Amino acid sequence: MRWMKKMLVFLAGISVLFCAGSAFAESFSIEVPYAVHGGDWWSGLALSNTGTDPIDVVIRTYNSGDSVIVGELTLEPYSMETRLLPGFFTKKPYPTADGGRVNLGISADGFYAKRDFKFTLFVGSPLGFSFQSYDHHDIRFDHE
Backbone φ and ψ for 124, nearest 5 degrees, come out as -145, 170
Asked if residue 40 is part of any domain, the answer here is yes
Is a pLDDT exceeding 90 seen at residue 82?
A: yes
Is a pLDDT exceeding 70 seen at residue 49?
A: yes
- How large is the average pLDDT for residues 57-84? 92
Higher pLDDT, 141 or 108: 108
Asked if residue 72 is part of any domain, the answer here is yes
> Domain limits at 95?
25-134
Q: How far apart are CA 30 and CA 130, in angstroms?
A: 19
What separation in angstroms does the CA of 102 have from each of 8, 29, 38, 39, 75? 50, 17, 11, 14, 23
Domain CATH for 57: 2.60.290.11
Mean residue pLDDT across the chain: 83
Total count of domains within the chain: 1
- How large is the average pLDDT for residues 38-56? 95
% residues pLDDT > 70 (the chain):
76
Q: For residue 130, what are the contacts with CB-CB under 8 A and spacing of at least 6?
A: 122, 123, 124
Q: What is the CA radius of gyration of the chain?
A: 20
Asked if residue 30 is part of any domain, the answer here is yes
pLDDT band with cut points at 50, 70 and 90 for residue 21: very low
Asked if residue 128 is part of any domain, the answer here is yes
pLDDT band with cut points at 50, 70 and 90 for residue 139: low
Asked if residue 1 is part of any domain, the answer here is no
Is a pLDDT exceeding 70 seen at residue 12?
A: no
What pairs with residue 38 in β-bridges?
41
The answer to whether the beta carbons of residues 135 and 118 sit under 8 Å apart is yes
b/e sequence 117-139, b meaning 16+ C-beta within 10 Å: bbbbbbbeeeeeeeeeebeeeee
pLDDT given for residue 20 in this prediction: 46
Asked if residue 11 is part of any domain, the answer here is no
